[in-house]
Amino acid sequence: MEIRIAENCGFCYGVKRAVAMAQKTAENDFTSYTLGPIIHNPQVVQSLADDGVRAVNSLEEIPDGQVIIRSHGVGPAIYKEAEDKGLDVVDATCPHVKKAQQDAKSVVDDNMTLVILGEKKHPEVISINLWAGNKGIIVESEKDAEIIPFVENMGVVVQTTFSQFKFQSIIGILEKKTKNLKVFKTICTATQERQNSAVELAKEVNLMIVIGGKNSGNTNRLAEVCRDVGCTTYHIET
């Protein structure tokens, strides 16, 4: 049996950066916390916990010390709340997510209807919408796009790990829903590279194994695009 590895794989820049920042805080004398899991990979989260960097669900759980904003980002209110509590903030938000947050805010500031392509319950999508005052219409599928009413002006921002193939299909629908469509293609380059590599490999092999967190939107998307080309695919975590 021959085992082949995709040309592009592994953690992207934003995740590597966030994990490195979290690991750096473990060297401090005071306790460090991540607001939610630093990334959607239980094994990495556990490794950090073993080093003294603990994941919590809210700022209320942090008595003092340092809080790390995870790669998925948070809304502006969290920064204010952390400041009011006197917490030292380490912002590990992925730069690509930061751009999506600011693009979403600019769409609303320009009085355009905001559409966010992504998973409704994903923390990154939630954070993007919070920067836009929760005014975005979140679209996960072509079916969601079809029911959006016609508007004069529309701006589109995309979850950084969204399927580029689904993106193209949904944009085709949204073009018919407005006179003026402004698209911010905020799918990050690393995501596109990994999806392209996965698809190319899936077309040439009998079986694909995608390794990563079961709670990772990025990893789930890789498995999804492999299945879409008709290759039997298993998503495993350990």
List the catalytic residues.
124
Q: What CA–CA distance (Å, rounded) separates 238 from 12?
A: 19
Contact 33, 65 (CB under 8 A): yes
Q: What is the DSSP string of 149-211?
A: PPEEEEEEEE-TTS-HHHHHHHHHHHTTSEEEEEEE----HHHHHHHHHHHHHHTT-SEEEEE
Contact 154, 181 (CB under 8 A): yes
Is beta strand 178-184 parallel, antiparallel or unpaired with respect to 151-158?
Answer: parallel
Residue 179: burial class (beta carbons within 10 Å; 0-12, 13-18, 19+): exposed
Rg (CA), the chain: 19
Q: What is the DSSP string of 138-166?
A: EE-SHHHHHTSPPEEEEEEEE-TTS-HHH
CA atoms within 13 A on the CB side of 152: 3
Torsion on CA atoms 49, 50, 51, 55, rounded to nearest 10: 0
